[in-house]
Amino acid sequence: MPDNTVGASRKARRSVQPDAGALPRGEAAYRYLRKAIQDGKLKPGERLREVELARQIGLSRTPIREALSRLESEGLVAHDPTRGVVVAELDYVMVTELYYMREVLEGTAARLAAQHASDVEISILDDLCQQYEAALSDAAGLAVSNRHFHETLYRCSHNRYLLNMVTVLHNALSLLSGTTLADPERAAQSLREHRAVVTAIRARDADAAEQALRTHIRAAQKVRLQKLFATGSDGNAGNE
């Protein structure tokens, strides 16, 4: 009888070996684990055992340890006194802090985009708004479209240091399961907010662009906090 465990292990190895061959092993492990957290395959509070992860990914424990250390520095994993290394969980205070920094940094990104984005980049933001509208009836697709819009906006700021900082914040959002965009009313409002940001950027109105983005983040925060209060949970309320 075939050993299914060995077969699964070999399958896991084949799934990551291209990355492992093209990248340093620590980087390959980091990207694999970060994506697993972002995709919800590794959930907040889930224990992360080096031996099991090494077997699953097909790497030794050393690059796994390096990856976990890097993820911890980014706030995606944490040390629990009783469980060891776990996927981080966000409490109410952390969610509030996260959204405060999103408003500051993403507002700045919108301001810089109004000053530096090319006409082609602005047209891409327009296209992303259209894609967002087309996905309004699909919560999962809408979440992906929303992420693409924000990531593109960050790049339109043309500031590598800001891009690095907002990327860390974006990664932290993966700790919040689901999406607040599942609410049709919120999804439609979010589209209007995105378009307001793009309109201000196209007009090269930096003040208006920053204010529109800050308004967008505050609206998303309000929906999330309402869900937190309604469910009594500490952070797994949605993702926008």
Determine, yes or no, domain membership for 27. Answer: yes
Which CA distances in Å does 200 have to 56, 102, 110, 203?
Answer: 47, 19, 9, 5
Residues 115 and 180 in one domain: yes
Determine, yes or no, domain membership for 240. Answer: no
Residues whose CB is less than 8 angstroms from the CB of residue 141 and which lie 6 or more positions away in sequence, other chains included: 135
Helices then strands (H, E): number in the chain? Answer: 10, 2
Which residues does residue 179 pair with via DSSP β-bridges, in sequence order? none
Residues 78 and 141 in one domain: no
Residues 165 and 188 in one domain: yes
pLDDT at 66: 95
Residues 47 and 31 in one domain: yes
Count Cβ atoms below 10 Å from residue 231 Cβ, excluding itself: 11
Determine, yes or no, domain membership for 134. Answer: yes
pLDDT at 204: 98
Residues 165 and 47 in one domain: no
Closest CA to 170 of 83, 89, 227, 106: 106
Q: What is the pTM of this model?
A: 0.75
Residues 57 and 113 in one domain: no
CB 74 within 8 A of CB 33: no
Residues 10 and 102 in one domain: no
CATH of the domain at 58: 1.10.10.10
Residues 134 and 57 in one domain: no
Q: In a structure prediction context, what are the per-residue pLDDT tens digits for the chain, which is 240 residues long?
A: 444 433 433 443 334 543 444 789 999 999 999 989 988 889 999 999 999 999 999 999 999 999 999 999 888 999 988 899 999 988 889 889 999 999 999 999 999 999 999 999 999 999 999 999 999 988 878 888 998 999 999 999 999 999 999 988 888 887 886 677 878 899 999 999 999 999 999 999 999 999 999 999 999 999 888 877 776 554 443 456
Determine, yes or no, domain membership for 236. Answer: no
Tokens 């309402």 appear where?
226
Residues 101 and 183 in one domain: yes
Determine, yes or no, domain membership for 208. Answer: yes
- Tokens for 148, please give them: 């693409």
Q: Domain of residue 14: give its range.
A: 4-87
Determine, yes or no, domain membership for 38. Answer: yes
Residues 63 and 160 in one domain: no
Q: Structural domain tally of the chain?
A: 2
